[in-house]
Amino acid sequence: KNEVEQSPQNLTAQEGEFITINCSYSVGISALHWLQQHPGGGIVSLFMLSSGKKKHGRLIATINIQEKHSSLHITASHPRDSAVYICAAGNTDKLIFGTGTRLQVFP
């Protein structure tokens, strides 16, 4: 069993839909990351959180430390949100990655 599990693996949505991606982890963490990776390969950090909730524009990330679970929400999704979203557990200064969720948003 992977130390960081994401669901779903693939997700398609129509523009404007509300999207949720889930992440469960089994390791102790210092912080939980949500990252975005576009087809070219570059990774952009979206959120780093250790408790509660963070919001940036249309993106919201939540974490429940007791349940070892985090969610990434995208409100009013747009085709430019199409990318791979990766959850990563920050553990003693290294990151343990999930396998990612491939999101496609259609107009």
**Interface contacts to other proteins, rule CB under 8 A:** 4, 30-31, 33, 35, 40-45, 48, 86, 88, 90, 92-100
Q: Cβ of 32: how many Cβ atoms within 10 Å?
A: 24
- In one-letter notation, the amino acid at residue 4 is V
Q: In angstroms, what is the minimal distance from the CB of 1 to other proteins?
A: 14
Helix, coil or strand: residue 22: strand
Query: Nearer to other proteins by C-beta: 17 or 96?
Result: 96
Q: How far is the CB of 76 from other proteins (least distance, A)?
A: 27
Which residue number, 12 or 99, has a Cβ lying nearer to other proteins? 99
**Rounded Cα gap, residues 93 and 90, in angstroms:** 6
Nearest residue to 87 (alpha-carbon basis) of 75, 97, 76, 78? 97
Residue nearer to other proteins on the CB measure, 39 or 57: 39
